[in-house]
Amino acid sequence: MSKTLFEKIIAREIPAALIYEDEHVAAFRDINPQAPIHVLIVPRKPIPRVAQAGPEDQAVLGQLLLKAAAVAEKLGLKDSGYRLVINNGPDAGEAVPHLHCHILGGRKLQWPPG
């Protein structure tokens, strides 16, 4: 099976501004930032989207959120706040079929989202 875009980033086959990685996840700056701080955190396991996650992925999903909070803190967003976004499917605008969580911060974010 061919690698996803984010697997290629994790494998250093495509350049990216990696800011964190461990045995479960990797985090790198979004190439088209929608906020002063816009980072993607992705599990190493290429689960296509949250709707395709199964019970066997419980630990991976937990790591994704726990590490998202840790990365947000590392980026200085703990006190100001930040938004975590997971797009699932066409109506949400999902473009890369490798589960990822957007970490957005550094400005006041609007609600509801567009």
DSSP string, 28-80: EE-SS-SSSEEEEEEESS----GGG--GGGHHHHHHHHHHHHHHHHHTT-TTT
Nearer to ligand AMP, 77 or 101 (CB): 101
Q: How many residues bind ligand AMP (CB under 6 A)?
A: 13
> Is 100 annotated as catalytic?
yes
Applying CB under 6 A, among 32, 79, 110, 114 the residue interacting with ligand AMP is 32
96 binds ligand AMP (CB under 6 A): yes
As beta bridge partners, residue 84 has: 103
Cα gap 75→11, rounded to integer Å: 23
> Interface residues for ligand AMP in 53-92 (CB under 6 A)?
87
- Active-site pick, 24, 38, 98, 100: 100
Q: Which residue has the tokens 């984010």?
A: 6
CA angle, 87 as apex, 12 and 25 as ends, to 5°? 35
Min separation Cβ 77 and ligand AMP, Å: 17
In the structure encoding, which two tokens stand for residue 107, read together? 């400005």
Question: Pick from 25, 94, 103, 105: which binds ligand AMP (CB under 6 A)?
Answer: 94
Sites of contact with ligand AMP (CB under 6 A): 5, 14, 16, 28, 30-32, 40, 87, 93-96
Show which residues are catalytic: 100
